[in-house]
Structure 1
Amino acid sequence: MSGQASEPIEPRRSSRILTKPGEVKPAPKSSKKRASEAKAEGNTTKKAKGHTETVVEPTATTGTGTKEDEEGAEPKAESLPENLQRIDIGDSLPSLTLRNDDDEDVDIAALTADKGLILFLVPKADTPGCTTQACGFRDSYPDFSSSNFEVYCLSADAPKAQNKWKTKKELPYPLLSDPKRALITALGAGEGGKTKRSHFIFEKGGKLVDKKLPVKPADSPKLALEFIKNL
């Protein structure tokens, strides 16, 4: 229409946000970097059926400890086989069957029916320290026998390995195999899947009257003999 001023048209605004001169816009974080930061904070994110679930990873305070800590921990009573309890001074040998170096069954409770018992424990057959301990009991064996005591060696080794060691070193006493460390643990000498070098003295009838745990290889037979001589 003539005679009527037209309205000025405003310029269209851009939907993009422009940075000011001299200002650097931070780049968006990559998904890999975001995941790395989340892990550093101890959290991981899982997606499940349309929702996000945050899981707290175990830390030094929420975890169960390192492998080294678990292996060095003292075995708990719960690790003992059913109906087998800890054996301490004044307690008797339990009813338990183990295999000897000839791969024959041996009733542990019957070992003290007629005589006393020296039960010495070694970590591993045919190793230097264990050989020193075993040969010490071998050399003193007549003294133990004349005092009405039997001598037995106990370890977690298989009967075949024990028999080979026995023949090699001419050991005059039986060796007992306890692969699950049932009796070893009951005696308090099982720790982290290992056997503590030690010895235990049971009087006739089965009562534990002395123990040395741990003990040095060369000292074990000497201390055991000294104890029974003073009974």
Structure 2
Amino acid sequence: MAMKRIAISGLLSFILMLMVFTPLGQVTAAATKTGVVDIQSGVLNVRNGPGIKYPKIGALKNKTNITIYSVKNSWLQIKYGKKKGYVSDDYVRLYRPFSSATAKKISNKAFRLERKTWEKNYTKSQIFSLMAPGFTKTYIDKYFKQQYRPAGKDKKGNLLYHIIETEIWGLALYPIDWKPAYEPKKPTVTYYIKNGREYLSISQYHLNDESGNKTTTICFIKSKGNWFIYDHKVKYHH
């Protein structure tokens, strides 16, 4: 029995040694992370060390998928051909898993805030206050200009506004169906980190005979522990 324990112990040690000393190009998927280059123009320089003082060894185009091994001082060590290289994390999306249940809570909160402003006439400041917990100010500015019409004044003479019933489109959120029986399809949840900021998007394909089939995507950004909508995209399918 003692000899068997020694043999098993030796085998485990050998396996651990192989895991530690596996060449960089053979690191398993479980030990790596994935990312996507995200730049506005040009290319992303790849260097042979974690900093701009290191020489360039190549470049990557926008939307290139990359394998990431580690992070050092905001620089990502990546697989570059048969070599290893470094790129700044300012220009890379680091994708991570995200709970659908949590995404549902986040999106449902935003819908409730939006629909609350539809219930009756409000002043501009009241609309902004109601939406502030779930939307960025930039988004609310655009939303207000697109979605509301003047609706008289309150007792103090303040202008009131109401949702434009015939113009609920564009930035207005399209409901997400989290348990579709047939169509629309199940929502797709995407979470990533870029330049230290957290982003979340929820997309869903919708069938609509009147307005046309479309995919809607709600984009969130996290700030001070809370999620805020900063964009809402609609792609029509013909």
**TM beyond 0.5:** no
Between Structure 1 and Structure 2, whose CA radius of gyration is higher? Answer: 1
Which structure has the highest strand share of the two? 2
TM-score by length of 1: 0.28
TM-score by length of 2: 0.28
- Point out which structure has higher relative CO (alpha carbons under 8 A, 6+ apart): 1
